[in-house]
């Protein structure tokens, strides 16, 4: 089963006063490059980081990340 995890982080940053990748990275506790990789779907973060991102934007997890399985 191949899975794909997409996300709305770019949109959520825009809606939160154009929050920078660095600002989000600092709050979440990862590097700016990791936020960039997550946004581009080149890295699937741990559950903990995923929940922290959702917490920053004050939205449920599934508003940040969407899971699609490709069978």
Question: Residues in the site for other proteins, rule: CB under 8 A?
Answer: 29-31, 33-34, 36-37, 40-46, 49
Write down the least CB distance from residue 25 to other proteins, Å: 8
Write down the least CB distance from residue 31 to other proteins, Å: 5
- Other CB atoms within 10 Å distance of the CB of residue 7: 19
Measured distance CA(36)–CA(15) in Å, rounded: 17
Give buried/exposed letters for 11-31 (b at 16+ CB in 10 A, else e).
Answer: ebbeeeeebebebbbeebebe
Write down the least CB distance from residue 2 to other proteins, Å: 14
Q: Which is nearer to other proteins, 19 or 36 (CB)?
A: 36
């Amino acid at each position: 089963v191949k899975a794909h995890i997409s996300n709305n982080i770019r949109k959520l940053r825009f809606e939160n006063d154009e929050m920078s990748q660095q600002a989000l990275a600092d709050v979440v506790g990862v590097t700016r490059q990791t936020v960039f990789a997550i946004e581009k779907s080149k890295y699937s973060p741990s559950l903990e980081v995923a929940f922290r991102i959702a917490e920053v934007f004050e939205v449920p997890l599934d508003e940040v990340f969407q899971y699609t399985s490709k069978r």
